[in-house]
């Protein structure tokens, strides 16, 4: 799975143009899933462009209620109506700037699944937490609390994004990323069983480029990537996709 998180970039027109370029650039590419996550205002327009293609649409966030007096929030059914198949949940920027917690992440995951959306759950440690040697504790809490009460992992993807590598130009080495991915998979195996844990796709995110994706994806437990800045230009995003697919 290769998912492009466009964050708070691109107008509707720019989003449509990029979506068209991604569709054209991935024609003939087979295997795996390609996803783009535009801003809320562009979701329906991008979904229209991608209809019938192999590229799916994700929202960047979702609320944990179906409707009500929640100014500025968007419910899961509304995202489905706009053409979304997936939604990001718990991205570190949501946790940092909007004070989302493991508990609200859990509520979002449950509501998304009940509405038929497939959550891509983001976890990751800060640079300070890594330096203190508490990476596994932090990731463990995020995974265990975030997935508490979730009976099945069938439609769940987990994205490991070290906070210190997002938009900084730094990235975890393939060995560092693999180490955390192994930890997450073992943690999931202890709760859901080995077969279920083995089937979950674990993505790496954090300054992913066409230059480093090959080394990252070559690691046994890295099943794809959540891509930020490099997904905003069709050339770099398609380059990553083709590197992984061998196209």
Residues identified as active-site: 91, 161
Three-class DSSP category at 191: helix
Burial of 175 (0-12, 13-18, 19+ CB in 10 A): exposed
Residue 220 to residue 218: CA distance in whole angstroms: 6
C-alpha pair distances (Å), 78 with each of 8, 66, 156: 19, 9, 20
Residue 221 to residue 203: CA distance in whole angstroms: 9
Q: With beta carbons less than 8 A apart as the criterion, state whether 16 and 45 touch.
A: yes
């Amino acid at each position: 799975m290769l998912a492009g998180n466009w964050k708070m970039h691109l107008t509707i027109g720019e989003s449509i143009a990029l979506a068209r370029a991604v569709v054209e650039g991935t024609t003939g590419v087979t295997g795996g899933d390609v996803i783009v996550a535009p801003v809320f205002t562009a979701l329906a327009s991008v979904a229209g462009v991608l209809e019938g293609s192999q590229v799916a649409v994700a929202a960047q966030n979702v609320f944990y209620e179906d409707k009500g007096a929640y100014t500025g929030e968007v419910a899961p059914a509304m995202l489905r109506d706009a053409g979304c198949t997936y939604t990001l949940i718990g991205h570190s920027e949501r946790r940092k700037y909007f004070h989302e917690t493991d508990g609200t992440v859990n509520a979002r995951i449950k509501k998304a699944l009940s509405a038929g959306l497939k959550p891509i759950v983001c976890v990751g440690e800060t640079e300070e937490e890594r330096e203190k040697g508490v990476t596994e504790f932090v990731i463990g809490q995020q995974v265990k609390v975030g997935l508490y009460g979730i009976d099945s992992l069938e439609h769940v993807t987990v994205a490991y994004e070290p906070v210190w590598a997002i938009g900084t130009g730094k990235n975890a080495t393939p060995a560092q990323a693999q180490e955390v991915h192994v930890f997450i998979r073992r943690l999931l195996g202890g709760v859901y069983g080995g077969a279920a844990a083995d089937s979950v796709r674990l993505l790496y995110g954090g300054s992913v480029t066409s230059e480093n994706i090959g080394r990252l994806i070559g690691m046994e437990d890295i099943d794809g990537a959540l891509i930020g800045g490099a997904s905003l230009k069709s050339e770099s995003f398609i380059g990553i996709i083709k590197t992984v697919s061998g196209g």
